[in-house]
Chains A and B, each alone.
Chain A
């Protein structure tokens, strides 16, 4: 089963990652993962923990929530 990504979430970032700018208009959403714009004042949370740390206890952030991380979901996690 293919994992459907939320709109505009970068391809290899965990689908559980959420941040405010993903919810705004399309122009804003594009900036959600740019260093220069909101990086230093943006908050990221995980859908599974609803917290700023993931199920593995480590930080939720675009740089860290990538394939290879222990809690990165597999298609089986959907069911």
Chain B
């Protein structure tokens, strides 16, 4: 059953009416004229004190009685098959309680990268477990390897995979089920058509752009602590998918096959997309614990985290764009390559999103290398795609002599982004003159780039709201908070609906014994769980008001809760506070479980936007790039809590600047090993490198759910590196096509620029 309602959608004081169909028991989205007492307020996280004082217990902190330590032996070879593993000596070592061989557990005798799992041990102390690993004897059949895209693509390159696997495979458009055809002739026709468009365009620009592998580097590494109690597996996991983790432990096809499993992830020290699966470490932890009969602590160390727990694939993106003199993009050709490690899938780049880029001819290839596998990484494919696309946008604008922002507007239909451009432009000082500092040494520049995201959440989650006779309120959902502020925001939504302060609502999350919730991915968590929480709170409130009305002789439909009191709609307080109203219950509590209402497909916009502008200073003597300021204009539907929202945007910008200037995996091509598998040599942006971040949030009534929340965790990282790169180009007058933008690359670009001066430099052409 559905009901038809009319709502207002829009933003910035510009609203229009829209008639939408919503689920019969759903509540109307908050309207611009509603006087909300919590929603829209900047409130500190409810768990902030616990986190900063150390009382918050992460998976790593768990210490059940009798706990021992699990460790994993990893391959030193980049490409090998396991001939034999002798664990006899290790099994007899002091303190050793369990030993497992990877081929026995995972039906896998290959070690396709240096760091691949070979065996696992559980012992009473970490030192004993490490000593036992050293006692394991492994015979390998060592094979030649290649660890870079360039090496792997060469004719005669060593085979990374097994059987008939080629090193390079087309991943988009997807190959047909049997590997052939799937419209190859259609692709050829499209290639020819786009070539013709570009050839006939007024201006054509092209470039080859490269981004490096970026590891997730969460502060808390992967893994967890687990124990078995009467056949039930209890796993304190560092996970961004509590229910997905549980499924991997209980599935009929899993290695663990637990009959029951409880996953607890009350606090998670970051995931960024890498913690959806339990991973081999999770399975090994559970099996070691089962064999040893005691709890096992199985957390990766930092080296293992860097080697085997995921990364953002690198990319080589070749783009060519044809543009008309009046600024319309007519056609774009894209070819890209990237390595997701030993497979081929997942290494694409979203370089054809955001703008209207005309007829498009795009083919992407995945390239196998003997390196640790990639995983989803905050906005998978988008930051690397934006890095190429946004530079092409600047190059095309320069090619036709058009302002870079106006060129973007010309090729962008998004109603929100059109406003955001001007905000970013004004706040970064786009049109200001930036005098050169010193004798031609330090130059400043500005760059702009855009975000795009597309999630308003969806079904499959439930929330339980409980109001007790003594006035306690609790909301429960089993999903996790990986840093987005889910715990706080869920509490705010329930408190708003019940007319309470946030402190009066307790939020329980991160426990699979509670109602089902989503994995934290695709920036969907808050958009998925808060409509369920609001709906459950609404119906719990109605039940309470029915009781109040019956006991007081009032009419329930005329009552509501506000300012911790029962009031009569249109009249005012009835001098009955929330606690006294709860005391009228005959039973000890009201409990309402509600599923997330069906998504409203109609709304103001299916996507949220976002624009970022960067101001950089480049030292031409040292090559150092300093990002002075990033203006991040963001929208995410209705902003529930500006403080936690800003925190998301700041985090995305920081990770984006880090991607732009510092981060890259360094592989030893001869040895086939990662050289910077730590956080000393793998450079991540530090506090001293952090720019001023000016966050501007637009509050959008999009009508997509009863809380109208859109995704915000990922979009803020999309634009940052691209905006920085464009700003560097603006400062120097020469473009840098490769990330990270290191001093060495800057100095090389300056040298090329200076060498080319005096010749007829073509705008947009790579020097």
Contacts and interface: CB of A to CB of B under 8 A. Distances in A.
Given A23-B518, A24-B519, A18 B248 contact: yes
Contacts of B376: 20, 41-43
Nearest to A30: B458
Interface in B312-350: 340-350
A44 B344 CA distance: 10
Interface stretch (B168-176, B397-405, B686-694): B168-176
A57 B162 contact: yes
Given A20-B276, A40-B348, A43-B375, A27 B521 contact: no
Given A39-B174, A52-B341, A78-B253, A25 B346 contact: no
Contacts of A35: 172-174
A42 to B, nearest CB: 6
Interface size class of B (residues with CB under 8 A): 35 or more
Nearest to A73: B253
B350 A23 contact: no
Contact of A23 (B276, B381, B455): B276
A47 B350 CA distance: 28
B522 interface: yes
Interface string A1-39: 001101000000001101011111111110000010011
B255 interface: yes
Interface stretch (B25-33, B277-285, B577-585): B277-285
Interface string B231-258: 0000000000101100110011111000
B518 A40 contact: no
Given A41-B350, A50-B280, A77-B253, A23 B343 contact: no
B165 A26 contact: no
20 contacts: A3-B252, A20-B276, A23-B241, A23-B521, A24-B518, A25-B460, A25-B461, A27-B459, A39-B348, A40-B347, A41-B346, A42-B346, A42-B380, A43-B346, A47-B253, A49-B107, A57-B162, A58-B162, A59-B161, A63-B175
A10 to B, nearest CB: 11
A59 B459 contact: no
A64 to B, nearest CB: 8
A50 B255 contact: yes
A15 B253 CA distance: 7
Contact of A26 (B176, B247, B276, B458): B458
- In this complex, the member of A16, A24, A44 whose beta carbon has the largest number of chain B beta carbons within 10 angstroms is A24
A43 B247 CA distance: 17
A3 B176 CA distance: 26
Interface residues of A, number: 45
A41 B375 CA distance: 9
B524 interface: yes
Name which of A3, A18, A58 has the most chain B CB atoms within 10 A of its CB: A18
Contacts of B521: 20-21, 23-24, 28
Interface in B479-536: 518-519, 521-522, 524, 528
B350 A78 contact: no
Contacts of B346: 40-43
A31 B161 CA distance: 28
Contact of A28 (B179, B244, B364, B522): B522
Interface string B377-401: 0001100000000000000000000
A47 B251 CA distance: 9
Given A43-B376, A57-B162, A50 B524 contact: no
Contacts of A24: 458, 460, 518-519, 521-522, 524, 528
A67 to B, nearest CB: 11
User: Which of B179, B273, B522 has most A Cβ within 10 Å?
Assistant: B522
B408 interface: no
A60 to B, nearest CB: 8
Nearest to A75: B252
Given A21-B522, A41-B346, A51-B106, A78 B174 contact: no
Contact of A41 (B165, B179, B255, B348): B348
B524 A28 contact: yes
Given A20-B521, A24-B524, A71-B107, 9 more contacts: A6-B247, A23-B521, A28-B522, A41-B348, A43-B346, A49-B107, A50-B280, A51-B108, A59-B165
A47 B519 contact: no
A42 B519 CA distance: 15
B596 interface: yes
A40 B277 contact: no
B634 to A, nearest CB: 21
Interface in B143-198: 161-163, 165, 171-177, 179
Interface in B273-303: 273, 276-280, 283
B252 A53 contact: no
B252 A4 contact: yes
B519 A20 contact: yes
B276 A48 contact: no
A62 to B, nearest CB: 9
A45 to B, nearest CB: 6
Interface string B97-116: 00000000011101010000
Contacts of B342: 52-53
B519 A23 contact: yes
Contacts of B459: 25-27
Contacts of A4: 252
Contact of B163 (A15, A44, A58): A58
Contacts of A73: 253
